[in-house]
């Protein structure tokens, strides 16, 4: 029997359960060892390092080992594209641990190359271990070789089954979220969302054009996807960040460019919420959006003009899908009046909308959007898809005041009591402290008083103080301080 030797591979064994070593053919047809999720010494000092799995997470590996087949799409539950993997390559996905009582515990992983039926394998995510890696390996030979059918193998980094203890879901911080359907189409849409790509278990009701849903979600990262009312996914999931303020709005709109060859209704998810900077205390943010859907023809000739009056007097010109933001003090009501111009045709004015600014929540987002359908015959002014101006208050479920974090307190140093000192006394009369002490103190504190001569007679004492400093060189008597008397 012929013996085939494979070049040795030096690896570092991790303390995490992600030490998986296998053998496969590379693109040149040679067998080689491969250490998935291990620190591998490749050549000399060149080292390929894989990052650690964060605490509280597991890692899914997707390995494509079928040479001769094209790139494979890795799908989750037949409707979420997780990764795309080339032959001979691998990708990974880290995900937080899932408790047994949470939804979407079962995950179906599929590899699809588009040239044949996909292969799939299911796994229960509730039994995966902290820090461990689990490899889904796509193996076999191409149909042209007719040697081995393609299949999907699961190689766990550990044989142990780990289960998180059941615990109530505790949400530390939540914030309002508005979901709105701005796509003028007869079908309705369903939003689905969750904290991770594999746990989008919350769903809205079916929303027709112009309808919206106000809900509360946990702040931080949020994944959202869109279905038709028949639960057919129309766009890939989108990751957004929900802040503490009432400023999160997500809309379903039409595509940026209409594909007339595709008969299916086309959608996209559009983030309409505030930016990264928080809204300042005492202000209300007003965002104007042109969400008119142009069925045919170029988008460049369709422009909406927004006139603002009342609180301020301003104007904004918006192309399709364009937005403009104003941060305003809510002192008086604000009127917004849209006018649409399309390809040189006569302007189409819309009914104005008034925002009761003094009654709105501070630090909230107010969305004013122009929506509706536009085709070759011009804008629709009647019917279910007519042009309209919508006002959405991101804080319709209640005000959320965001107070910035205060700087850490500074410690004020305490007062110190000086040590007691003995003061020098110039009481030569025996009468106690008095004017002479003051004079002595003055002498003691001056650098020019260097010599003192004292003479006393029977009836009168006089004190002569001799000043030898360079300033005057004159005699000074007590009368200089106490007067001639």
Q: Indicate whether 410 belongs to any domain.
A: no
Q: Are residues 250 and 366 in the same domain?
A: yes
Q: Are residues 300 and 359 in the same domain?
A: yes
For residue range 262-317, list pLDDT tens digits in order: 555 688 899 999 888 889 989 999 999 999 888 765 566 788 899 999 888 899 99
Q: Are residues 233 and 364 in the same domain?
A: yes
Per-residue pLDDT, 60: 93
Whole-model pTM? 0.70
Q: What is the largest CA-CA distance in the chain?
A: 141
Q: Are residues 60 and 130 in the same domain?
A: yes
Q: Are residues 325 and 450 in the same domain?
A: no
- Give 182 or 5, the one with higher predicted confidence: 182
Of 156, 189, 208, which residue is a domain's last? 156
Q: Tokens at residue 239, please?
A: 């990751």
What is the rounded CA–CA span in Å between residue 443 and residue 451? 10
For 48, residues 6+ apart whose C-beta sits below 8 A from its C-beta are 39, 40, 42
Residue showing tokens 């004292």: 454
Cα-based angle 369, 375, 379 (whole degrees, multiple of 5): 50
For residue range 32-47, list pLDDT tens digits in order: 777 787 665 444 455 5
pLDDT at 170 over 80: no
Do 435 and 441 contact (CB within 8 A), yes or no? no
**Secondary structure letter of residue 357 according to DSSP:** G
Q: Indicate whether 127 belongs to any domain.
A: yes
Do 288 and 306 contact (CB within 8 A), yes or no? yes
What is the enclosing helix (H) or strand (E) of 435?
Answer: helix 435-444
What is the rounded (10 degree) CA torsion for 71, 77, 80, 81? -10
Look at 250-264, 327-341, 433-447 and tell me which has the smallest mean pLDDT: 433-447
Q: Give the length of the chain.
A: 485
Per-residue pLDDT, 283: 93
Q: Indicate whether 427 belongs to any domain.
A: no
Q: Tokens at residue 463, please?
A: 């004190």
**Secondary structure letter of residue 482 according to DSSP:** H
Q: Are residues 257 and 354 in the same domain?
A: yes
Of 393, 426, 448, which residue is a domain's last? 393
For residue range 95-130, list pLDDT tens digits in order: 999 887 776 788 999 999 876 668 999 999 989 999
Q: Are residues 388 and 331 in the same domain?
A: yes
Q: Which domain holds residue 142?
A: 10-156
Q: Are residues 317 and 199 in the same domain?
A: yes
Helix (H, G, I), strand (E, B) or coil at 359: helix
């Amino acid at each position: 029997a012929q013996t085939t030797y494979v070049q040795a591979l030096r690896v570092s064994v991790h303390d995490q359960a992600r030490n998986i070593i296998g053998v496969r053919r590379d693109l040149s047809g040679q067998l080689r060892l491969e250490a998935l999720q291990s620190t591998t010494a490749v050549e000399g000092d060149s080292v390929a390092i894989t990052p650690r799995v964060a605490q509280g997470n597991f890692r899914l590996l997707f390995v494509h080992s079928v040479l001769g087949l094209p790139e494979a799409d890795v799908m989750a539950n037949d409707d979420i594209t997780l990764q795309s993997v080339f032959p001979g390559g691998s990708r990974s996905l880290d995900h937080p641990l899932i408790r047994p009582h949470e939804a979407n515990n079962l995950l179906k992983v599929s590899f699809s190359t588009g040239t044949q039926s996909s292969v799939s394998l299911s796994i229960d995510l509730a039994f995966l271990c902290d820090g461990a890696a689990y490899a889904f390996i796509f193996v076999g030979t191409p149909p042209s070789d007719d040697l081995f059918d393609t299949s999907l193998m699961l190689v766990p980094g550990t044989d142990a089954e780990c289960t998180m203890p059941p615990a109530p879901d505790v949400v530390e911080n939540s914030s309002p979220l508005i979901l709105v359907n701005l796509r003028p189409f007869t079908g309705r849409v369903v939003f689905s969302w969750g904290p991770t790509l594999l746990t989008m278990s919350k769903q809205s009701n079916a929303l027709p054009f112009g309808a919206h849903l106000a809900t509360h979600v946990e702040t931080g990262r949020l994944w959202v996807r869109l279905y038709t009312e028949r639960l057919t996914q129309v766009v890939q999931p989108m990751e957004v960040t929900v802040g503490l303020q009432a400023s999160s709005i997500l809309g379903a709109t039409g595509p940026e460019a209409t594909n007339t060859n595709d008969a299916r209704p086309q959608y996209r998810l559009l983030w309409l919420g505030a930016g990264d900077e928080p809204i300042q205390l005492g202000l209300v943010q007003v965002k104007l959006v042109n969400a008119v859907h142009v069925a045919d023809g170029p988008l460049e000739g369709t422009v909406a003009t927004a006139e603002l009056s009342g609180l301020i007097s301003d104007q904004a010109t918006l192309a399709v899908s364009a937005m403009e933001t104003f941060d305003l003090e809510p002192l008086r009501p604000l009127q917004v009046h849209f006018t649409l111009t399309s390809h040189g045709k006569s302007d189409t004015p819309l009914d104005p909308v008034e925002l009761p600014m003094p009654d709105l929540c501070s630090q909230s987002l107010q969305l004013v959007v122009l929506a509706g359908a536009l085709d070759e015959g011009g804008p629709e002014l009647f019917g279910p898809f007519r042009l309209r101006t919508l006002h959405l208050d991101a804080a319709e479920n209640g005000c959320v005041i965001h107070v910035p974090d205060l700087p850490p307190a500074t410690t004020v140093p305490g007062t110190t009591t000086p040590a007691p000192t003995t003061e020098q006394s110039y009481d030569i009369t025996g009468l106690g402290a008095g004017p002479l002490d003051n004079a002595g103190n003055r002498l003691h504190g001056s650098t020019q008083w260097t010599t003192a001569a004292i003479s006393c007679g029977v009836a009168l004492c006089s004190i002569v103080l001799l000043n030898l400093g360079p300033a005057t060189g004159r005699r000074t008597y007590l009368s200089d301080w106490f007067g001639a008397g």
